[in-house]
C-alpha cells in the first residue's frame, strides 16, 4: 500500500493560529506547492521537509502541518489554541506505514528538524504543574486498554518499568502495581501526585539525554504524547536500548495534540502517518531494537482524539 504524505497545494496564503502559552499569534504564511511522496520512505519525507523549509523564504518552524491531514482539518476549521487536530487515519493505513519502510543508510534528518518555535528553557515552560490530561477520555481509555493487553500482570515479581516524560497520571490500568515503576518528568509536583509511581526523577532530557539507570534495568518503557518534544531523540532511544532488559518493550504513544511551540519542527510540519514513520526511524537508527511496528488504537476515528502506538523490543542478543 502506498500512502501519501502531502497533497500538492496551489500557491495560497494561510492564516495559522499558533498557540503560544495562553495567547494566540496569527501568522500569515505563503506556501509553495508541497510535493507528494510515499510515507513509507523516510528519505522521501526528509527531502519533502527540506524543500518546504526552503520554499518562499518561510522557516518550517512557522508552518503548522502543511501535509494532507492538517490541511483537510484546517479547512474544516478545527484549529485550536494550544493544540492542533488532524484527521484520524484508518487503522489499516497507519499500521502499514512501517511494514516495508525504506531506511537510508544514514539518519536523514538534520539539526533544524529538531528545532522548536519556542527555544526558551523547557524548565521554565514546565515550571508550573498542569494537573490536566492532554488527550480526551476516549483516547485515554484506549491507551489504558492497550496497556492492559501488553503489560506483565500486576505485581509480577522482578518487573521494573519506566514511564518517561511522566506527569501526575500515567494512564496505566487502574490498580496496576509493580515492585518498581519509575517516573521521569519535568515537574516534581506532578510526579509526586502520580499514584502508580514507586519513585521519580526530575530531568530535562533535552538538556541531558543520559538516563540515570543501570544497563538492562527495565522490562517496559512507556512514553505518552511526549515523543514529539524530544530534541535529541537518537541519543535518548540509544539510552532506552541500553537500560532495557533483552527482549524489553518500549511503547511510544502519541496523538495529534501538542504544545506546538515546544514540539519539534519535523513534527509540526507533518501529519499522523508521517509521525509514525518518524518515531519508527528513531528505533531503527538507534540500533539494538527489533523492527518497529505501529498500531492505531484510535477509539472513534474522526470524532475523538486519535491514538497511535509505535513500539519495539530490545533485541534478545543486544
Dump strand ranges (E) for the chain: 12-20, 23-31, 160-166, 180-185, 199-202, 218-224, 244-254, 293-296, 308-313
pLDDT at 318: 57
pLDDT at 278: 96
Residue 174 has pLDDT above 70, yes or no: yes
C-alpha distances (whole Å) from 178 to each of 182, 249, 255 are: 10, 15, 27
More reliable by pLDDT, 10 or 48: 48
pLDDT at 58: 39
pLDDT at 136: 92
Q: Which cell is 112 given?
A: 533544524
What is the average per-residue pLDDT within 226-246?
97
More reliable by pLDDT, 219 or 90: 219
Cα angle, residue 154 at apex, residues 177 and 137 outer, rounded to 5°: 70
- Cα separation, 303 vs 300, whole angstroms: 5
Q: Give tens-digit pLDDT for 256-290.
A: 877 778 899 999 999 999 999 999 999 999 999 99
When mean pLDDT is compared over 1-5, 76-80, 206-210, the highest value belongs to 206-210
* Of residues 314, 281, 282, 310, the one with CA closest to residue 101: 281
Task: Name every residue whose Cβ is closer than 8 Å to that of residue 87 and which is 6 or more positions away in sequence.
Answer: 69, 72, 73, 272, 302
Residue 132 has pLDDT above 90, yes or no: no
pLDDT at 118: 86
Q: Which cell is 170 given?
A: 500515567
* DSSP 8-state secondary structure symbol assigned to residue 193: H
- Cα separation, 244 vs 250, whole angstroms: 8
- Cα separation, 264 vs 226, whole angstroms: 11
Residue with cell 511526549: 226
When mean pLDDT is compared over 59-63, 80-84, 157-161, the highest value belongs to 157-161
Handedness of CA 34, 266, 275, 255 (dihedral sign): negative
Q: Give tens-digit pLDDT for 143-162.
A: 999 999 999 999 999 999 99
Comparing 10-24, 193-207, 216-230, the range with the smallest average pLDDT is: 10-24
pLDDT at 93: 86
* 244-254/308-313 β-pairing: antiparallel
Please spell the DSSP secondary structure of 22-84, one letter per residue: TEEEEEEEEE-PPPP-BTTBHHHHHHHHHHHHHGGG--GGG----SHHHHHHHHTT-B-SS-B
pLDDT at 316: 93
When mean pLDDT is compared over 4-18, 114-128, 201-215, the highest value belongs to 201-215
pLDDT at 211: 98
More reliable by pLDDT, 303 or 261: 303
pLDDT at 119: 86
pLDDT at 50: 60
What is the average per-residue pLDDT within 51-55?
53
More reliable by pLDDT, 225 or 93: 225
User: What's the whole-number average pLDDT of the chain?
Assistant: 77
Residue 115 has pLDDT above 90, yes or no: yes
pLDDT at 35: 32
More reliable by pLDDT, 8 or 243: 243
What is the average per-residue pLDDT within 27-37?
31
pLDDT at 81: 32
Residue 2 has pLDDT above 80, yes or no: no
Amino acid at each position: 500500500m502506498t500512502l501519501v504524505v502531502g497533497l500538492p497545494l496551489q500557491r495560497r496564503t494561510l492564516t495559522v493560529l499558533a498557540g503560544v502559552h495562553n495567547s494566540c499569534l496569527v501568522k500569515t504564511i505563503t506556501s509553495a506547492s508541497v510535493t507528494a511522496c510515499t510515507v513509507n520512505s523516510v528519505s522521501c519525507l526528509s527531502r519533502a521537509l527540506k524543500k518546504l523549509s526552503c520554499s518562499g523564504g518561510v522557516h518550517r518552524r512557522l508552518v503548522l502541518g502543511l501535509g494532507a491531514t492538517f490541511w483537510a482539518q484546517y479547512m474544516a476549521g478545527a484549529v485550536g489554541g494550544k493544540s492542533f487536530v488532524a484527521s484520524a487515519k484508518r487503522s489499516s493505513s497507519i499500521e502499514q506505514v512501517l511494514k516495508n519502510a525504506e531506511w537510508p543508510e544514514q539518519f536523514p534528518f538534520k539539526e533544524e528538524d529538531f528545532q522548536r518555535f519556542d527555544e526558551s528553557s523547557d524548565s521554565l515552560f514546565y515550571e508550573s504543574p498542569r494537573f490536566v490530561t492532554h488527550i480526551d477520555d476516549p483516547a485515554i481509555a484506549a491507551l489504558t486498554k492497550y496497556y492492559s493487553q501488553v503489560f506483565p500482570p500486576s505485581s509480577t515479581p522482578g518487573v521494573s518499568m519506566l514511564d518517561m516524560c511522566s506527569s501526575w497520571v500515567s494512564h496505566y490500568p487502574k490498580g496496576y502495581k509493580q515492585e518498581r515503576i519509575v517516573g521521569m518528568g519535568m515537574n516534581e509536583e506532578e510526579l509526586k501526585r502520580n499514584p502508580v509511581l514507586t519513585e521519580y526523577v526530575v530531568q530535562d532530557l533535552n538538556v541531558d539525554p543520559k538516563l540515570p539507570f543501570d544497563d538492562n534495568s527495565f522490562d517496559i518503557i512507556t512514553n505518552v504524547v511526549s515523543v514529539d518534544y524530544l530534541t535529541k531523540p537518537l541519543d535518548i532511544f540509544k539510552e532506552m536500548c541500553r537500560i532495557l532488559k533483552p527482549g524489553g518493550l518500549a511503547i511510544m504513544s502519541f496523538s495529534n495534540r501538542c504544545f506546538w511551540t515546544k514540539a519539534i519542527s519535523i513534527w509540526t510540519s507533518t501529519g499522523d502517518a508521517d509521525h509514525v514513520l518518524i518515531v519508527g526511524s528513531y528505533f531503527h537508527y538507534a540500533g539494538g531494537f527489533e523492527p518497529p511496528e505501529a498500531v492505531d488504537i484510535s477509539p472513534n476515528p474522526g470524532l475523538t482524539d486519535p491514538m497511535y502506538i509505535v513500539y519495539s523490543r530490545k533485541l534478545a542478543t543486544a
